[in-house]
Chain A
């Protein structure tokens, strides 16, 4: 009897201690590169070395004073915005079709739309670079253009939007949609005026996720951009290969801040929608 009690008492305590130790380990593991980068971005020295002896905002000034880096940031934001628009529009329309219409070969089409998400970036980038390398549209080289990078990034972003929106459309109360039809609105008007407002949180979230994916991606962009259109992550990768300076840490922080700003927008929107619902 006492043996059983001892075992039942001992093991949970040990498991609890193990669990606590594991949580400390995993939180440290995840936060180490984040904190190291944040600390290093305020370093005054030109070298990456610990301990840090002097602090300053020198590298932030340096970042914003350098046209090469601000241009890369601008390029990143333009490409990410384009990706968000392309993948949100195409993903939402496809999800709507899957939810509300009879589609032949549904499973095959589903797999086809999702497939690029599972392909390595290096394969997608290489394929597009080879296929569209020499193609010109109206005298402008497609290769090296921002449009091509936007579409390449959409190969990853669009399936995600599609998946998210398919789940969102499933929560819609379609009696309201039918009512709109009955009152004489055509399908397009119904979609824009009735359905889209009902799923606005899903739309905003998927657009911002698409934006974030494009903002962070750099392997496809490495294959598809040239000096004038290169994105911030590409420039970071190329300069890491030559020499690491605290400027890279600043670039990392700025990239991360942009992403967290997007996340904040999603959360604010979500809270606003919740309030609206509870008020009604």
Chain B
């Protein structure tokens, strides 16, 4: 009994540094933010202690905020669908390729993971505008007659967002594909199923869990980011993340910034719970 207790004490001691970091620098700030979101915000002051639902009311009634929440969800859904589709096709091809191709393609897929988001933004920032590479390439090929710019469009924002989330989706799905017996595909083909039927009846059910995890990963990430859409997208593309930053650093309205953050926290939690509930019982994947 005492040996057992001593073991538990050692375990707690070992866990202590990690728990201190998580509880003090994540748990405490989250509680602090939750409380802050109910504080008052009179003019010219960061915040005044109090209790009001005013900020949450504003989030639900002010068209700027409801619009931003809607934009964020819409952007996250669309970018995640695109990411999962591209990532799925990419992972499927890499899975089917012979090994020497595989290593090369995995190396390419690692690139966006290793490069800072700011460097990625800047890379696309030089590609899309009037004097950028895209315009120059199309002009020299004679495909367009005048300089064109895709900068500050929703398309540019999507290209950037998908770029950042693609590797996560790819690696999650590739690990799922690697667990599948390849002979299943051959068997299905030998039994006379055309590729599309094999895909629908064999591959899709086997990779369902991976698809779910990849989608929710990508959704959570896209929902929380603001740098890529605000740097590449149009000026009106206001996401919740962008408004948090604006309220905090620009307008110094702490309670409202906190309330917006709580919306993001709840959004992440909702996606995680939803993914868990959609997952088959036996799957042991952690979301």
Tell which of B57-65, B122-130, B173-181 binds the partner: B122-130
CB distance from B44 to the nearest CB of A (A): 17
Q: How many residues of B contact A (CB 8 A)?
A: 80
Assess whether A144 is interfacial by the CB under 8 Å rule: no
CB distance from A231 to the nearest CB of B (A): 10
A248 near B122 with CB under 8 A, answer: yes
Q: Residues 102-136 of chain B: 1 if any A CB is under 8 Å from the residue's CB, otherwise 0?
A: 00010011011011111111111111000111011
Nearest residue (CB) in A for B4 is A102
Cα distance, A119 to B135, chains bound together (Å):
37
Residues of B46-81 whose CB lies within 8 A of A: none
Assess whether B279 is interfacial by the CB under 8 Å rule: no
Interface residues of A toward B: which range? 35 or more
Assess whether B86 is interfacial by the CB under 8 Å rule: yes
B125 near A244 with CB under 8 A, answer: yes
CB distance from A186 to the nearest CB of B (A): 12
Tell which of A123-131, A176-184, A192-200, A269-277 binds the partner: A123-131
Q: Residues 107-137 of chain A: 1 if any B CB is under 8 Å from the residue's CB, otherwise 0?
A: 0011011111011111110111111100000
CB distance from A93 to the nearest CB of B (A): 4
CB distance from B261 to the nearest CB of A (A): 5
Partner of A252, one of B123, B224, B227, B248: B123
How many residue-residue contacts, CB under 8 A, span A and B? Answer: 242
Partner of A122, one of B14, B17, B133, B261: B261
Assess whether B36 is interfacial by the CB under 8 Å rule: yes
A37 near B126 with CB under 8 A, answer: yes
Assess whether A185 is interfacial by the CB under 8 Å rule: no
CB distance from B80 to the nearest CB of A (A): 15
Q: Could you write out 27 A-B pairs with CB less than 8 Å apart? A: A11-B194, A12-B195, A22-B93, A30-B112, A30-B166, A33-B120, A34-B115, A37-B126, A93-B14, A93-B17, A93-B18, A94-B18, A101-B14, A112-B22, A120-B220, A120-B221, A121-B224, A122-B245, A126-B248, A127-B26, A127-B32, A212-B114, A218-B116, A240-B125, A244-B125, A252-B123, A256-B115
